[in-house]
Amino acid sequence: MSAVPALELLRRSDRLEPRRSSRGDQQVDPALLSELAATALALTRGRNLLRCNRSFEVLFGYGPGELLGCSLLPLYPSYGDYIAWGRASYQQIESQGSCRDERLMRRRDGSLFWCEVSGQAADPSRLYEGCVWTLTDLSEDKEREQRQDTLEQQLTRLEAELQQARAQAQAACRDREAAAYRHRQELARAARLNTMGEMAGALAHELAQPLAATLNYLHGCQLRLQQPDCSPAQIDGAIGHAIRHTETAGGIIRQVRSFVRRHVPETKATDLNALVGEMLGLLDHERRTLGVHVELALAPEQPTVLVDALEIRQVLLNLIKNAYEAMADSATSQRLLRVETRLLASGRVEVVVCDRGPGITEDARSRIFDAYFTTKQDGLGLGLAVCRSIIESHDGSLRVEANPEGGARFRFDLNTAVSP
């Protein structure tokens, strides 16, 4: 309610004058109080309170009628504030006809809160005969601003930490062999810590991939910066990818607990073929290093699936990376990865990842999805266990079978997104 309509109501003296009840006590017209209930409203004279509605009393923590006839001093944090705000308000009303400001006020219990105060003279020709005031509690707005300031400070701190991490990564790039050794030591330590539980081990395993990708992009930036014709535009994209994968690592930290607990994913409509392309791009350096040829058979319908995109990225990343590593010792001509997406008759979408490696023995196939089971010399044995947990949380299943052309074939299915 603005000050003008509040003033009009206050001018209706027949309803403002206190009326005596049958018990002899004075009462204000209940209809008026109802009209003004949504806004804290007060009428003052000489900085004493003549009238106020119940909202005003509730705002400051007083009972009905306790403030009537009282000085406004107890509503201010200090005597100095009381004097300063009073002088400023009346000067502004006298020169402009009204005033509006934000000020710190005090409740009955001594707590302070921010309040928007608007005022104007009840009779402009007699300023000091009375003023009408409307007050709005700004506590929530101020708390929101404070939270925003806190978040901005945290963001500034995190940006500084990120800059420091980038500097450390660039320093590590000067000695790749030493960095690789330190990385292997970290993985060995993570392997020892996996006895503390699947959650800690899964975190170490899943974070290795986006963090390694971040380092790869930063390594590339370092090399480009050493070239005389390097321009900011050349490294901007790589830095953007590094930031994105760092954010992915943060997302993994938040979600690893739900991986283990077979949580219900935070789902949204996602282009499955695009996810496949992203993960192949992320692992392209490893593909080129091993000389693997990739064959894609993606559904032309560009299926949209209802998934937690981050989790499905992790599944694709694990399966593709495992396929590359499985073919490391195969003949170069046999290093072929095939990825398929297809719409099933049931309406679901299936993903198939095939390699031409040595394949999986019957004994290993029966235990391959068990936590801590691995056929790799330095593996943690958690990747496929986490993948199965993710797919099952999407109401699907992850399966493995022999590839008729040699190697292994992993397949899983997902729900499609239904258009409204």
Residue 310 has a pLDDT of 82
3-state DSSP assignment of residue 89: helix
pLDDT of residue 398: 93
Per the CB < 8 A criterion, the answer to whether 182 and 168 are in contact is: no
Residues of the chain with CATH 3.30.565.10: 264-420
Q: Which two tokens stand for residue 381?
A: 């044995």
Q: Which helix (H) or strand (E) holds 102?
A: strand 98-106
- Residues of the chain within CATH 3.30.450.20 domain(s) are 3-137
Structural tokens at position 406:
């040699």
Element (H, E) at 100: strand 98-106
Question: Residue 16 pLDDT > 60, yes or no?
Answer: no
Query: Superfamily assignment of 264-420 in CATH?
Result: Histidine kinase-like ATPase, C-terminal domain (3.30.565.10)
Output the CA torsion 248→252→258→259 (10° steps). Answer: 100
Phi first, then psi: what are they for 369, rounded to 5°?
Answer: -95, 5
Residue entry with tokens 């006590």: 25
Q: Would you give the distance in Å from CA 21 to the centre of its chain?
A: 57
pLDDT digits (tens, 9 = 90+) for 226-252: 777 777 776 777 787 778 878 877 666
Could you tell me which residues come within 8 angstroms of residue 182 by beta carbon, excluding any fewer than 6 positions away?
172
> From CA 187, how far away is CA 381, in angstroms rounded?
13
Q: Which amino acid is at 166?
A: R
Specify the pLDDT at position 332.
Answer: 87
- Residue 42 bridge partners (DSSP): 52, 133
| pLDDT digits 0-9 by tens, 18-58 | 444 444 433 334 444 444 456 788 989 888 999 999 999 99
Instruction: Quote the pLDDT of residue 379.
Output: 59
Rounded Cα–Cα distance for residues 308 and 46 (Å): 64
The pLDDT-based confidence of 205 (bands split at 50, 70, 90) is low
410, 356 contact by CB (below 8 A): no
pLDDT tens-digit series, residues 326-365:
898 888 888 999 999 999 988 899 999 999 999 888 888 7
Helical (H) or strand (E) element with 114: strand 112-121
Q: Which residue has the higher pLDDT, 177 or 19?
A: 177
Specify burial of residue 242 (Cβ count, 10 A radius: 0-12, 13-18, 19+): buried
- Superfamily for 3-137? PAS domain (3.30.450.20)
- Count the residues in the chain: 420
pLDDT in tens, 90-139: 899 888 889 999 999 999 999 999 999 999 988 877 777 788 999 999 98
